[in-house]
């Protein structure tokens, strides 16, 4: 009697009574027509569903948003980070309302992969992740282009280093096909993290989206999720402290995105795994950096795949990993690594003895400008800028900074300070990715540093310190900085300081008045509820879900 409504309504959409007696698998599709990383899912979802049917389950597809960070640049970037929690909450709400037995989560891009991982942790039913795979890299006939990220080309064009014809060629061809951008930004860092923790098949992220292997993999995922349901293996079996530590070490060893720091903090909290920034830093610095990918090296995602892929980079740091953690497709990490048969291209994937850096790709900084921490991707910084001291040039928004860039008035040696761009101040913690890339394109990355309570693109490189906490909107010390104040950044000592006495800093903070930044709708709700970047910028998610 209690199932009468359910049976009747499922019958209305075509399910037979014997179908809904099987494990019902929610296929969470983030397909849309306006995001190249997600457009392939229209087809891939059907292959997943075929796999579910073949294994004796019943697939039930539903959709969620999937914004493209690149398209949102200087348009709607404030709405990007909030969607991470909106997507995660949408999946949780739908999955709980319909009581699916398991989930397959189709996701590729910067906020959508962490959102799906958060949702899997929150719902805690059997779950698997499938990413769309990488774009085809563009070959102009003179070698593969540097990166699918156009922002550095904007800086180079603005500085007169490339002509209009070359810039237009980049613009038209640099994103050469659908799939995730063929560089190691946030999207691919998070996809690879999902592989390492065991919720996503190894190779899902680095293989070409256009490959037949991706179609076969989608069917495998559909079959495997039914087995996980029958075995009663839930998502949190993979999202443990030890598996998350493996994911952190691997992201650090391969030069992952600075945004990974914030997302992994959010995923851990949603999974009920205690993790603070200091612990994160200690975990990530325990591994050498054994690989770098575009834009920090000539190698793209396909090069990584051909060189041995994620299994090869895991094997390179094997002594630092917990090998007894479960993997949805391979038994345990130990079994995966023991069974890895391929030769490894040592030019792409180095050994510990020939590593780029001995102590991880990130650095978490503290000091009187960042009492709760700040994040920099050290592996993307020229060693000349590991220590930098210079006068502050202060901006209260990204737009003010862009105006300065486009006028060409940036003095070597300075520190660009961009504030009121944090989770609340933005609101939405926009990426300062175009300014950061323009800094590179203009050749200022060895003389000018940039610090912000906002964030940077996962593909950003150069002396760019983000995630400063507390943010200016919450009265963080960055709000008190004035033009000409001397800022000291030290990646070796892990410090971020302004040369002011405690008394002067406190007096200035008492006099600070926030700029007028009125918002409405979802941004108003976000500003009212979002937490600090140092704990993952959680809004709708987090806590101790069962």
Which residues are catalytic, by number?
A: 457
Q: Which of 267-281, 367-381, 395-409, 516-530 has the lowest mean pLDDT?
A: 395-409
Can you tell me which residue has the tokens 């942790």? 121
H-helix segments, 68-201: 69-72, 80-98, 112-123, 151-158, 164-173, 186-196
Whether residue 420 sits in one domain with residue 282:
no
∠ CA 139-143-145 to the nearest 5 degrees?
60
- pLDDT tens-digit series, residues 491-500: 999 999 999 9
255 touches 291 (CB < 8 A): yes
Q: Would 45 be classed as within a structural domain?
A: yes
Whether residue 185 sits in one domain with residue 49:
yes
Whether residue 248 sits in one domain with residue 203:
yes
- pLDDT tens-digit series, residues 222-254: 999 999 999 999 999 999 999 999 999 999 999
**End-of-domain residue from the set 123, 158, 174:** 174
Whether residue 450 sits in one domain with residue 412:
yes
How would residue 457 be classed by pLDDT, with cut points 50, 70 and 90?
confident
Whether residue 186 sits in one domain with residue 101:
yes
CA distance 127 to 239: 11
Which pLDDT belongs to residue 223?
A: 98
**End-of-domain residue from the set 154, 174, 194:** 174
How would residue 171 be classed by pLDDT, with cut points 50, 70 and 90?
confident
Asked if residue 470 has pLDDT above 90, the reply is yes
The CATH number of the domain holding residue 409 is 3.50.30.80
Mean pLDDT of the chain: 93
38 touches 70 (CB < 8 A): no
Whether residue 303 sits in one domain with residue 333:
yes
Q: CB-based burial of residue 490 (10 Å sphere; 0-12 exposed, 13-18 middle, 19+ buried)?
A: middle
CA distance 308 to 186: 21
Q: Which two tokens stand for residue 543?
A: 């806590």
Supply the DSSP symbol for 420.
Answer: S
Whether residue 125 sits in one domain with residue 144:
no
Q: Which two tokens stand for residue 242?
A: 């030890």
Q: What is the DSSP string of 81-102?
A: HHHHHHHHHHHHHHHHHHT-SE
- pLDDT tens-digit series, residues 3-31: 899 999 999 999 999 999 999 999 999 99
∠ CA 408-410-416 to the nearest 5 degrees?
135
Q: Would 152 be classed as within a structural domain?
A: yes
Asked if residue 172 has pLDDT above 90, the reply is no
Nearest CA to 210 among 135, 283, 261?
135
Whether residue 403 sits in one domain with residue 303:
no
Directed axis angle between helix 151-158 and helix 433-441, to 10°?
Answer: 50
**End-of-domain residue from the set 149, 174, 199:** 174
Whether residue 109 sits in one domain with residue 214:
yes
Q: Would 343 be classed as within a structural domain?
A: no
Which residues make Cβ contacts (< 8 Å) with residue 401, sequence separation at least 6? 395, 416, 418, 432, 435
Whether residue 109 sits in one domain with residue 64:
yes
Range of the domain at 186: 4-137+176-338
Q: Would 124 be classed as within a structural domain?
A: yes
Q: Would 545 be classed as within a structural domain?
A: no
CA distance 221 to 243: 20
Q: Which residues pair with 29 in a beta bridge?
A: 63, 106
- pLDDT tens-digit series, residues 283-299: 999 999 999 998 888 89
316 touches 356 (CB < 8 A): no
60 touches 229 (CB < 8 A): no
Strands 58-63 and 102-106: unpaired
How would residue 176 be classed by pLDDT, with cut points 50, 70 and 90?
confident
Whether residue 122 sits in one domain with residue 104:
yes
Q: Would 79 be classed as within a structural domain?
A: yes
Whether residue 127 sits in one domain with residue 36:
yes
Q: Would 348 be classed as within a structural domain?
A: no
What mean pLDDT comes out for the span 378-397?
A: 95
Can you tell me which residue has the tokens 């698997």? 128
- pLDDT tens-digit series, residues 414-448: 999 999 999 999 999 999 887 887 887 788 889 99
The CATH number of the domain holding residue 250 is 3.40.50.2300
Which pLDDT belongs to residue 546?
A: 38
Which pLDDT belongs to residue 149?
A: 59
CA distance 153 to 147: 10
Q: Would 350 be classed as within a structural domain?
A: no
Which pLDDT belongs to residue 295?
A: 82
Can you tell me which residue has the tokens 């391979």? 330
Which residues make Cβ contacts (< 8 Å) with residue 485, sequence separation at least 6? 391, 392, 498, 499, 500
471 touches 422 (CB < 8 A): yes
Asked if residue 140 has pLDDT above 70, the reply is no
Q: Total structural domains in the chain?
A: 3
Residue 71 dihedral angles phi and psi, to the nearest 5°: -70, -25
Asked if residue 544 has pLDDT above 60, the reply is no
427 touches 454 (CB < 8 A): no
Asked if residue 146 has pLDDT above 60, the reply is no
């Amino acid at each position: 009697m209690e199932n009468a409504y359910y049976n009747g309504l499922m019958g209305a959409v075509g399910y037979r009574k014997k179908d809904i007696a099987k494990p019902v698998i929610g296929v969470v599709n983030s397909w849309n027509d306006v995001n190249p990383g997600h457009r392939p899912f229209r087809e891939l979802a059907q292959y997943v569903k075929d796999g579910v049917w073949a294994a004796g389950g019943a697939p039930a597809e539903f959709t969620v948003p999937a914004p493209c960070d690149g398209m949102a640049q200087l348009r709607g970037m404030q709405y990007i980070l909030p969607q991470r929690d909106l997507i995660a909450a949408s999946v949780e709400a739908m999955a709980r309302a319909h009581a699916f037995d398991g989930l397959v989560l189709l996701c590729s891009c910067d906020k959508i992969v962490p959102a799906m991982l958060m949702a899997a942790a929150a719902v805690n039913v059997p779950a698997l992740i499938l990413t769309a795979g990488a774009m085809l890299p563009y070959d102009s006939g003179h070698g593969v282009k540097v990166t699918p990220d156009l922002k550095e080309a904007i800086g180079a064009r603005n500085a007169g280093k490339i002509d209009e014809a070359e810039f237009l060629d980049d613009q038209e061809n640099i994103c050469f096909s659908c799939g995730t951008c063929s560089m190691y930004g946030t999207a691919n860092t998070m996809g690879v993290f999902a592989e390492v923790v065991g919720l996503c098949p190894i190779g899902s992220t680095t293989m070409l989206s256009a490959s037949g292997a991706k179609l076969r993999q989608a069917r495998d995922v559909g079959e495997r999720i039914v087995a996980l349901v029958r075995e009663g293996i839930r998502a949190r079996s993979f999202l443990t402290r030890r598996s998350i530590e493996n994911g952190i070490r691997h992201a650090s060893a391969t030069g992952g995105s600075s945004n990974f720091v914030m997302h992994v903090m959010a995923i851990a909290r949603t999974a009920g795994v205690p993790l603070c920034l200091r612990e994160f830093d200690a975990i990530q610095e325990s591994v050498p950096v054994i690989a770098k990918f575009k834009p920090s090296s000539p190698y793209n995602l396909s090069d990584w795949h051909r060189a041995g892929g994620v299994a090869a980079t895991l094997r390179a740091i094997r002594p630092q990993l917990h090998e007894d953690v479960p993997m949805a497709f391979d038994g345990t990490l130990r079994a995966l690594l023991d069974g890895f048969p391929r030769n490894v291209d040592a030019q792409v994937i180095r050994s510990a003895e020939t590593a780029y850096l001995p102590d991880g790709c990130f650095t978490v900084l503290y000091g009187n400008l960042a009492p709760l921490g700040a994040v920099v991707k050290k592996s993307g910084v020229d060693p000349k800028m590991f220590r930098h001291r210079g006068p502050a040039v202060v901006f209260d928004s990204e737009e003010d900074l862009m105006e300065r860039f486009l006028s060409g008035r940036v003095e070597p040696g300075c520190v660009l300070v961009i504030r009121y761009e944090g989770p609340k101040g933005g609101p939405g913690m926009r990426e300062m990715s175009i300014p950061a890339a323009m800094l590179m394109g203009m050749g200022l990355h060895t003389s000018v540093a940039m610090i912000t309570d906002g964030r940077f693109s996962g593909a950003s490189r150069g002396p760019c310190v983000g995630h400063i906490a507390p943010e200016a909107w919450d009265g963080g010390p960055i709000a008190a900085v004035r033009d000409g104040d001397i800022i000291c950044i030290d990646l070796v000592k892990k410090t971020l300081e302004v040369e002011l006495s405690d008394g002067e800093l406190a007096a200035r903070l008492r006099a600070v008045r926030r700029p007028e930044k009125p918002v409405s709708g979802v941004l108003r709700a976000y500003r009212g509820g979002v937490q600090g970047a140092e704990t993952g910028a959680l809004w709708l998610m987090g806590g101790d879900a069962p």
